Structures are given as structure tokens and as C-alpha cells.
Amino acid sequence: MAIEVFNRYESKYLLTDEQYAHFYNDLLKYMELDAYNKKHEYYSISNLYFDTPQDSLIRASLSKPKYKEKLRLRAYGIPEENARVYLEIKKKVFGLVNKRRTALKLDEAYEFVRSGQAPELADYMNKQVVEEIKYFLRVYDLEPKVYLAYERKALFDKNSRDLRITFDTNIRSRRYDLKLEQGDYGEPLVKDGRWLMEVKAEKTVPMWLSQLLSEHGLY
């Protein structure tokens, strides 16, 4: 069944090329590349974020509430018309991130968000998550707002899958042509030579990582 459910804490860091190179090399003592990155240096991720006509979700998020939520559509690379994509609800409560997603075909995902009517269930979907998204769409009148894409490199702790660190580069976005299949072009969101590092841990981060972040001056 195509579902992923995450409960974890996430911390973001903006790194220069030099900081990335040094920190990444030290991480390899404790972490290993995920299966895809062992064969390819990066993989591309494209996202479509939805909001109300009044931008209610992002306005609420920027106010730093104790609880916030959002809906996005994610694809790996540029999807074909009938490709498998992921519709995701992402919530944050007192710093703990909960992400629930289900696979859908691209046209099913678009129509689901547009109409609020859930697609006919198939074996690659998760009924529970589909129902949660259906409720979300009853609460909010959503439309596509922002496209965001980047290249990613991901690592896992060699001793535990509870810790994951990702590095994203070439982050670009657009507020037009809001279809995933239209291409992964857009305006740069950060300067060249910058990396967005995200530490994702189900529990507290291990001591070795805290020490490594401190040694490299990353906060």
C-alpha cells in the first residue's frame, strides 16, 4: 500500500557550499546515502502547495501558532499525465511534525482537490488518508498557489532509521503554470551556492550529531 506516515521533529539550516562540503564529509562517518542516492548524486522533487483564495494557511503559519497544517502535492521528477504522485497533509503541533500521504494518479489528485470528491479507491491508495484529505478539503476551499522544486541528497543513520538528514539545492519556485507536469523551471528561491539542510528525527538527535553541529557552528 502506497502510504507513508511520519511523526518527527524537523530542524532547518542554511549552509554555504563550503559548510555543506565539510559537514557532509563528517556525516559519512555516521550516516549513509539512501538507496536512490547511492546510484544518483541527486533526485529531483517537485511540489505544488495549495491555499485558500485569501492565503489563510500561509498567513496562519507565519503567525507561529502552536498548531498549523498544509496540503501539498508531491512528485519525484516531472510526472507524466498518468504518473503516481503523493497528496500529503502536513501538520505541526508544538514542534512535532506529522505527515500523512497517499499515492494517487496525477489527474486523480487534481480532481480531488478541485472538487473535494474523493476518487474511487484503488489498491495504491490509503483509505484513511483519503478520508482525512476529504475532510481537509471540506474545511478549506483550496486552489494551487505555489510550485516549488529542488534537487535532494538524503542520508540515514547507519544504526537507526529514526534519523534522516537531507540536503536540498537549486531551490526554485513559481506562482504561474501551476501544474507539476509543465516542468520544473522557476525563479531561484535562495542564492547560488546555498544548501538547505533538514534534520529529521523521531526522537531527540544523537549526541554525536549535536557535537558535530556545534563544531561546525551550525544553528
| All domains in the chain, ordered by first residue | 3-215 (3.20.100.30)
| Residue predicted with more confidence, 77 or 4 | 77
And the C-alpha cell for 120?
474511487
SS3 category, 107: helix
H-type helices in 71-206, by residue range? 106-115, 127-139
Mean pLDDT of the chain: 94
Q: What is the pLDDT of residues 117-134, one digit of tens each?
A: 999 999 999 999 999 999
**Within 13 A of 176's CA, how many CA atoms are on the CB side?**
3
Q: Residue 217: what are its φ and ψ, rounded to 5°?
A: 65, 35
The amino acid at 201: A
pLDDT at 3: 42
**Distance (Å, rounded) from C-alpha 206 to C-alpha 186?**
37
Rounded to an integer, the average pLDDT of 73-92 is: 94
Q: Specify burial of residue 94 (Cβ count, 10 A radius: 0-12, 13-18, 19+).
A: exposed
SS3 category, 111: helix
Alpha carbon separation from 76 to 44, 171, 184 (Å, rounded): 6, 14, 11
Q: How many CB atoms lie within 10 A of CB 34?
A: 15
Q: What pTM did the predictor assign?
A: 0.92
Q: What is the pLDDT of residues 134-160, one digit of tens each?
A: 999 999 999 999 999 999 999 999 988
Q: Specify burial of residue 151 (Cβ count, 10 A radius: 0-12, 13-18, 19+).
A: middle
Angle 86-92-97 from CA coordinates, rounded to 5°: 65
Residue tagged 549526541 (cell numbers): 207
